[in-house]
């Protein structure tokens, strides 16, 4: 039995290729976003009553920064990465990465409170290929939260 379109939207996962990125107040197109994560740092320590409660106590605290990368095609006249990285000291910006449905409406958004650029990697130049020129910007990010706006 065939499923209705609404049922398919509710049950099937979203394709990962349909996403949009906003850096500060600027929307930009990217080919890949890698490293979005929310992690807690594990801290273990010994305490005075270790003979009663065991050798170590484990506590968790939010990690301060994690690594992420943005990949984007090199476009003539567009220096978003270079301008951001050249600021001294490195400027922290907020970011939003939104996974979109088939009509481009954001369905799930990852909000990043602070993103600081640390490295820009230029594309590999090879005269034997005809691949697209891709720049990679490595970031340190913190304050990641996930907002699910629903599918229907």
In a domain, 4, yes or no: no
* DSSP code for 142: E
In a domain, 101, yes or no: yes
3-state SS string over 1-15? CCCCHHHHHHHCCCC
In a domain, 24, yes or no: yes
pLDDT digits (tens, 9 = 90+) for 127-140: 998 888 899 999 99
In a domain, 8, yes or no: no
Q: What are the E-state strand segments in the chain? A: 19-23, 26-28, 32-34, 40-45, 57-62, 66-73, 93-100, 106-121, 134-148
In a domain, 6, yes or no: no
In a domain, 3, yes or no: no
pLDDT digits (tens, 9 = 90+) for 48-83: 666 666 667 777 777 788 999 999 888 888 887 888
In a domain, 19, yes or no: yes
Give whole-number Cα distances, 60 to 42, 49, 56, 141, in Å. 5, 20, 13, 19
> What is the residue range of 64's domain?
13-148
Residue carrying the six token digits 């270790």: 50
CATH of the domain at 93: 2.30.110.20
For the whole model, what pTM was predicted? 0.77
In a domain, 105, yes or no: yes
**Number of domain units in the chain:** 1
Pairing outcome for strands 57-62 and 66-73:
unpaired
pLDDT digits (tens, 9 = 90+) for 107-127: 999 999 999 999 999 888 889
């Amino acid at each position: 039995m065939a499923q209705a379109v609404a049922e398919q939207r509710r049950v099937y996962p979203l394709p990962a290729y349909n996403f949009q990125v906003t850096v500060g107040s600027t929307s930009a197109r990217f080919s890949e976003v890698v490293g979005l994560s929310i992690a807690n740092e594990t801290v273990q320590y010994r305490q005075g009553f270790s003979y009663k409660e065991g050798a170590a106590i484990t506590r968790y605290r939010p990690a301060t920064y994690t690594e992420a990368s943005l990949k984007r095609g090199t476009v003539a006249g567009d220096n978003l990465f270079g301008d951001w990285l050249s600021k001294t000291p490195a400027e922290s910006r907020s970011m939003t990465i939104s996974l979109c449905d088939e009509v481009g409406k954001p369905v799930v958004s990852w909000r990043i409170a602070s993103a600081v650029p640390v490295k820009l990697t230029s594309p590999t130049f090879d005269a034997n290929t005809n691949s697209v020129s891709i720049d990679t910007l490595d970031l340190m990010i913190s304050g990641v939260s996930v907002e699910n706006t629903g599918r229907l």
